[in-house]
Structure 1
């Protein structure tokens, strides 16, 4: 119910131009990611990574679509680590793309992560997955007046509702996934949890300047082979 908090620790550091003034947010994010690593499990036999839910000391083998923003967050944050740690978190981000629910209400989190992974690695597989998702929306969710969710993807039974986040976020991230990296570049902009772009800024002598230390090239890693409460009004 507080997952946006972890996302914003990272993004406040990025929007603040990664200066010493905002470094404590990065430090808190890195501490929280150490905790996240204790929740990672893998399926058998396919070995897909997923994030458990924790209630007290109890872990539940369950990962909702809302948690699928995590791969994008991990990929975005991986570029602030040094060698070794950077590769570890980017590799985990690329593994962490499975979810165990049978309903689909066209949420944006998976496409959001595909967008970040494509921008940060250049791996065209993420664009292909995004295109497959869009085609599935067209085939299974398109109706005369818009798009609707599915109560069960196995039966195709529709829920007859189009959530506001489908237009505001899902389609936006799909659009950006197939846009040139110069459209809202990640070295000049950071997205809030509702997919609104905010400019990365600093102020020097009363003048606003834009600068980012984000690397444009990913680490040299081998590419392998998702939040109740994140959107408060959804």
Structure 2
């Protein structure tokens, strides 16, 4: 019954717009536009996005989850650059605070959500940074990219590649690396 833009729904938004861009089928565009309008109306609390109950619209989770970080890049692809800039700045502020984006950041308390302390090398914020640079040619996004790379090199690098960060506050490494890290980053 929860609606959001992150966990369990992020790929829907991303792939329906990218399917339109790739195939040109207007039905994909229509589906994306309807879903995007609803997300901007019910989920957007500028610059953040929350999860709400689908029936009542009541806030269920006032959380930023790391999978939401794809959203500014998607907004750029959809031609909605101004909110993408604001949202990316908010998401990157979490990265700056911890050196990574935790799986869950509580917007009500401005702290890492219990049980969601890890950073499994997600590429979403990096992709959004890339699209914002391509759209704006603003060199601050190159600086953001350098900051992200520096965090990865400093805290996530290990002898055989890169490691999950099991706790963004302590930067404790976990001996695990998903293939999406190399494939998508």
**TM-score of the superposition, structure 2-length normalised?**
0.75
Q: Tell me whether 1:13 sits opposite 2:20 in the alignment.
A: yes
| Bigger RCO (CA 8 Å, 6+ sep) | 1
Q: Tell me whether 1:90 sits opposite 2:81 in the alignment.
A: yes
Q: Find the counterpart in structure 1 of residue 44 from structure 2.
A: 40
Q: Find the counterpart in structure 1 of residue 179 from structure 2.
A: 164
Q: 1:108 aligns with which of 106, 118, 123?
A: 123
Q: 2:152 aligns to what SS in structure 1?
A: helix
Rounded Cα–Cα distance in structure 1 between residues aligned with 2:178 and 2:125: 16
Q: Find the counterpart in structure 2 of residue 2 from structure 1.
A: 9
Q: 1:59-98: CA deviations, max 9, x gaps?
A: 21112111111110011111xxxxxxxxxx2100111121
Asked whether the equivalents of residues 162 and 177 of structure 2 are also in contact (C-alpha less than 8 Å), the reply is yes
Structure 1 unaligned spans of 5+:
43-48, 79-88, 171-234
CA-based RMSD of the aligned residues comes to 1.6
**Larger radius of gyration between Structure 1 and Structure 2:** 1
Structure 2 unaligned spans of 5+:
1-7, 95-104, 106-111
Q: 1:124-149: CA deviations, max 9, x gaps?
A: 11111011111111111111111102
Residues 1-234 of structure 1: pairs in structure 2 closer than 5 A = 1-16=8-23, 18=24, 22-37=25-40, 38-42=42-46, 49-56=47-54, 57=56, 58-59=58-59, 60-78=61-79, 89-97=80-88, 98=91, 100=105, 101=112, 102-170=117-185
What's the CA shift for 1:55?
3.4
What's the CA shift for 1:158?
1.3
Q: 2:166 aligns to what SS in structure 1?
A: strand
Rounded Cα–Cα distance in structure 1 between residues aligned with 2:180 and 2:15: 19
Rounded Cα–Cα distance in structure 2 between residues aligned with 1:147 and 1:64: 21
Q: 1:63 aligns to what SS in structure 2?
A: strand
Rounded Cα–Cα distance in structure 2 between residues aligned with 1:156 and 1:26: 41
**TM-score of the superposition, structure 1-length normalised?**
0.60
